[in-house]
Structure 1
Amino acid sequence: MTEQLAFFMGPSPEPEGLRYAADFVSPEAEQELIRHVAALPLQPFQFGQYEGKRRVASFGFSYDYTLRRLREAKPIPDWLAPTIKEVEAFGGQGTLIRQVLCTEYDVGVGIGWHRDKPHFDRIFGLSLGSACKFRFRRSAGEKWQRFTLDAAPRSLYMMSGASRQVWEHSIPAVEAPRYSITFRTMAEPRT
């Protein structure tokens, strides 16, 4: 009977390849990470000639929207090493974080619909400071299929597979200051 009900209910609205872990870091670790990120020389996000309202700092690699390519960035700071080790364990065997993006969202700031650049493979996001609505959408004919993940403070999400390649994601304007640390693995070179 359960299989028959599942057939009528349809697939789960959650994007395939999306994983979520609440309370990924302790409240103490969260405060320490926020202090480190807030102390970085954060700069407004540059999208070609446009400037975003969120402030960022990239490590390992950054994407140059003017040149349309990856470029090397400052090395990943040592203070991120313990968190990276935990993120890599969450990602499973073979997970190697090579790029980190630290972001500050002030009140009223969000990020529009997008997919991360194809140079990256799996994406991990650590939410700090306040909760946010992490929205997903994908084309379903003339409409959109949608899913919203309530990303609590100290939680981690991972996007891989369809959640990474097919679905777009965005964050509406936040109601309280928020920080995030995005950890990325690199895509295999195309041959």
Structure 2
Amino acid sequence: MKDGDQAANFLWLLAAIVLVGSSLFSRRLPFGSVLKMLLSWVLIFGAAFIIFTMKDDFADLGRRLLTDVRGDATPVAGAGQEIRIRQALDGHFWVDGTLNGQKVRFLVDSGATTTSISTETAKRAGVSARGGLPALVQTANGIVTVQRGRAESLVVGDIRRENLAVHMSDAFGDMNVLGMNFLSSLSGWGVEGRWLILKP
């Protein structure tokens, strides 16, 4: 925040404290009671002042904490052409990729047979459902109805796959899952400590 804004906020705080103090003294309360109430208001206004003036810092801290919980989803280049993905504090592996050129965050799930995306992600990436009846698939949250489609391209780091089969459903909410049909196309993959290693 700029110095001018901080000065204006400080003057506003000072004026508010003076106004409250004047109101308390005008009520002719015992000095001890006035002092306690005045200190309480100073603390309240002080806390509000700190929160307001540092709101950008608090927002940045919140974003960093969220990143720590969900993990840095940016794939890291490892030895050779392998991709390394750090495990998040929630125990999962999240990775940022692109689907038909659109940035998408995926949960890497070896328990999912097919890569699955939300309906909103499908619309944003231009993935259309193919003809045929919907399918029923078993997920961690039970059996859901999905539409089948194909992504023209799915890219994670330097790994690119084309014409990849995907499932789409409203039941996925905002979750997108990188499934075994992507992982099995690699020359190798596995977990080493807190890192998921993908080998093209």
Higher strand share: 1
- Assess same fold via TM > 0.5: no
TM-score (norm 2): 0.23
Q: Which has the higher relative contact order, 1 or 2, with Cα contacts under 8 A spaced 6 or more apart?
A: 1
